[in-house]
Chain A
Amino acid sequence: MAVISYTPAIDRMPPVAKAGVVGWLRQNLFSSWISSLFTVVALWFLFKTVPPAMEWLFFKASWVGTTRDACSADGACWVFISVRFEQFIFGFYPSEQYWRVILAFVMFVALVGWLLVERTRHKGKVVFFAIFIYPVIAYGLFYGGLFGLPVVETHKWGGLMLTLILAAVGMFCSLPLGVVLALGRRSSMPVAKSVCIFFIEFWRGVPLITVLFMSSVMLPIFMPEEISFDKLLRAMIGIIFFQSAYMAEVIRGGLQAIPRGQYEAAEALGLSYWKSMFLIIMPQAMKLVIPGIVNTFIALFKDTTLVLIIGLFDLLAVVQSAFSDPNWLGFSVEGYVFVAAIYWVSCFSMSRYSMYLEKKLHTGH
């Protein structure tokens, strides 16, 4: 009997065209002639735009100085931003009172940090503090009048500070109002249901600008003469109503996605309507619509810029008004880039955080 010897063949290397840098390039950039064409066009476009943009933004830009003379003609002049920086952040808030705003902001960051970081204790108490006590403290700090703090009228609030106040109050109030509206829209009571539908469809059907116009020209007519509403408060009411309609629709989506069995099980346990909603249904629904809620927050944050149309000085408006300073004519691009960067970083990080949350809370149905 012949012995059959088996000698395995030597492993062959993968084809050069599929491995390493060359393989990656072939697969991802030059897989076909049309793909190669796109790559070349894209590279040409990048070559034409990115280096000049980088030079303008960083390499040829002027960073230090206090006057216009510090600016070279070639690049961006960030001196304009640094000279005006305090005004962009605080608006027309008196500079010796800045500490009040900073204190409120630091408290806010600490609270949010406490709640966002996992494994911190006493979350329940902190939530209570953040919802019921912090807003009062913050208002007291911003407006003053208590504990010998001088009063700073709201028309002096401005800049990034005003933007953040508008956004935070809008988010804070529109969420509970949105929950109520969403529950009302799904209620079996015909009157409550139609009132909620009307409210939601009305505010969603009109642009925010007309809402702001309405709150600035019509609210004073609607109110008794003795009550004088401050401009900021009026804008805020408009924003809250507008935003809560959007929030309601997002939450309704979550409520609809909860399987019928959950409602039935809650009922079978003998829970009352409110108990079954807040112990069983809402927590699940809210978890489902976190991306939607964060998207609404992002939209609200961007929309706060519209208050400049009714004459409030938010970040964009303050920067815009600085362009007309005769000492600093012609720096509009720098100003816009600065504002855009602030908004972009905030919105982008919010959207990333929501993605992270979505992943973390995903339990799989």
Chain B
Amino acid sequence: MSYQTKSTKHWWNNAQHRALLFQVLLIGGLALVVWTIAGNTMTNLEKRGISTGFKFLTQESGFGIIQSLVPYDESYSFGRTFVVGLLNTLLVSFCGIILATILGFTVGVARLSKNWLVSTMAGIYIEIFRNIPLLLQIFFCYFAVLRALPSPKQSMSLGETIFLNIRGLYLPKPIFESGFGLVLVVLAIAVAVTIALAIWAGKRQRETGQQFNTPLAAGLLVILLPLATYFLAGSPVSWELPALKGFNFKGGISIIPEFTALLVALSIYTGAFIAEAVRSGILAVNKGQTEAASALGLHQSMVLKLVVVPQALRVIIPQLTSQYLNLVKNSSLATAIGYPDLVSVFAGTTLNQTGQAIEVVAMTMAVYLFISLTISFLMNWYNKKIMLVER
């Protein structure tokens, strides 16, 4: 006698049918929500007399921005303010990522130091800055530290070339003269030669086992050659020094305090998280690996370079990725102290001036989504490349 499925079994007792039903309901529900929202939006916008579309991007903005990497003044369009804000966001994120990485790696390694004092201080740094809100740290940097700096007339100065006051940090600005192009050409050649040298050295080591000190040669090539050319060409760079004129400094490169506060707070905060990632990565490398490498007779630095670091990076990279992403997203806190980043000039001022909330917020979010997805794509690609290959 064979077992037969009961024909009376209800169709909803079948898992596949139920899944189908659930998904149809889900789609229906979502469509209904979207439909209602769209309808509401239309009526609301009509009632408030807000036009839709992206025409506002070509209108004249009529407001100034305290820092822009591209030419900008009140007569430029709202589209231009978007670009200015975006570039400022990218600038502070880029500098922040570099600083936070350096800080994080230093502190992470210090945390594992055999020196008790050094590792304890690194631990205290991590515990303090991880557990305090970033916004508070930014406010502290900006209002409590930088606002307490002296006025331009009493600026602090370093050898009459670098000045620091309440209006910002002033650095000498390099002015490149005609001979500088030659230095750049030599530098490019040196880099090309170094790459060729590295390829050749690698090939020779694979074939004959003989090692070649590539880093030393590369350092000599890339540093000494351009330097020699620089002096032979008669030092073709002059410096424009900032000088006090009237109430403020003119000339040189000026860095606004908003940028400094944001950059310092972002780097310190993210650095604490990166330090923990680095520490966990190094600790994750099995002790046996280090011991085996030492038993093979590898020198301490070779153990680190060939055995520990490559394995630690596998653990560190994914965590580092999310910290970089967080840093980019956190740079939006700029708006609280008035650093003109994307959120501040576009989702803030532009939105208030034009009232086109939907377009402005959507564009802002799209930018961050794009940056996030790009960074995570690149890091995932890199992660896959270095991932452990098992069986």
Residues of chain A at the chain B interface (Cβ within 8 Å): 27-29, 31, 35, 38-39, 42-43, 46, 188-192, 195, 201-202, 204-210, 213-214, 217-218, 220-225, 298, 302-303, 305-306, 308-309, 316, 320, 323, 332-333, 336, 339-340, 343-344, 347-348, 351
Roughly how many angstroms separate A247 CA and B232 CA in the complex, as a whole number? Answer: 61
CA distance A340 to B147 in the complex (A): 19
Cβ–Cβ contact B372 & A344, under 8 A? no
Q: Which of A38, A191, A210, A306 sits near B117, CB closer than 8 Å?
A: A38
Apart from A210-B332, A213-B351, A224-B40, what 20 extra A-B contacts exist at CB < 8 Å?
A27-B114, A29-B116, A31-B114, A35-B115, A39-B117, A46-B121, A191-B27, A207-B329, A213-B343, A213-B364, A221-B41, A222-B37, A222-B40, A302-B132, A305-B135, A316-B133, A333-B140, A336-B140, A336-B144, A340-B132
Given known A218-B358, A308-B336, contact A205–B117 (CB-CB < 8 A): no
Contact A225 B335 (CB under 8 A): no
Contact B115 A39 (CB under 8 A): yes
Q: Which residue of B lies closest to A213 (CB)?
A: B347
Docked-complex contact A210 and B140, CB < 8 angstroms:
no
B361 within 8 A of A: yes
Chain A positions within 8 Å of B368 at CB level = 205-207, 210
Q: Which 9 A-B pairs have the closest CB atoms?
A: A347-B131, A28-B116, A207-B329, A205-B372, A302-B133, A191-B23, A207-B332, A205-B369, A217-B357
Within 8 A of A (CB), among B30-70: 30, 37, 40-41, 43-45, 47
Residues of A within 8 A of B180 (CB): none
B159 to chain A, nearest CB (A): 23
Task: Contact check, B136 vs A339: say whether CB atoms are below 8 A apart.
Answer: yes
Which residue of the partner chain, among B23, B40, B121, contacts A192 with CB atoms under 8 Å? B23
The A interface is mostly helix, strand or loop, or mixed, namely helix
Asked if residues B26 and A218 are in contact (CB atoms below 8 Å), the reply is: no
Tell me the count of chain B residues lying within 8 A, CB to CB, of chain A: 52
Question: A28 is contacted by which of B44, B114, B127, B361 (Cβ under 8 Å)?
Answer: B114
Interface contact A210-B365, CB-CB below 8 Å: yes
Docked Cα-Cα span, A7 to B164, in Å, equals 77
Contact A336 to B131, CB < 8 A, known contacts A42-B118, A225-B47 = no
Q: Could you show 11 A-B contacts with beta carbons less than 8 Å apart?
A: A38-B118, A191-B23, A209-B332, A213-B343, A213-B364, A218-B358, A220-B44, A222-B37, A305-B135, A336-B140, A351-B131
A345 nearest CB neighbor, chain B only: B131
Q: Flag if A217 contacts B361 (CB, 8 Å).
A: yes
Q: Which residues of A contact B26 (CB under 8 A)?
A: 191-192, 195
Assuming the A-B contacts A221-B44, A225-B47, A336-B136, are A298 and B116 also in contact, with contact meaning beta carbons closer than 8 angstroms in the complex?
no
Q: Which residues of B contact A (CB under 8 A)?
A: 19, 22-23, 26-27, 30, 37, 40-41, 43-45, 47, 113-118, 121, 127-128, 130-136, 139-140, 143-144, 147, 329-330, 332-333, 335-336, 343, 347, 351, 357-358, 361, 364-365, 368-369, 372-373
Chain B residue numbers with a CB within 8 Å of A42 are 117-118, 121
Minimum CB–CB distance from A36 to chain B (whole Å) comes to 9
Assuming the A-B contacts A31-B114, A189-B22, A298-B131, are A316 and B136 also in contact, with contact meaning beta carbons closer than 8 angstroms in the complex? yes
Contact A28 B343 (CB under 8 A): no
Alpha-carbon separation in the docked complex, A332 to B148 (Å): 11
**A336 adjacent to B45 (CB under 8 Å):** no
Contact (Cβ within 8 A) B131 A221: no
Q: Are A225 and B44 in contact (CB under 8 A)?
A: yes
A222 in contact with B22 given A206-B365, A207-B330 (CB within 8 Å): no
**Of all chain B residues, which has the CB nearest A320?**
B139
Whole-angstrom distance between the alpha carbons of A34 and B135 in the complex?
Answer: 37
Known: A191-B27, A205-B373. A214 touches B40 (CB 8 A): no
Closest-by-CB residue of B relative to A187 is B19
A213 and B45 alpha carbons, distance in the complex (Å) = 18
- Chain B CB count within 10 A is highest, among A191, A192, A195, for A191
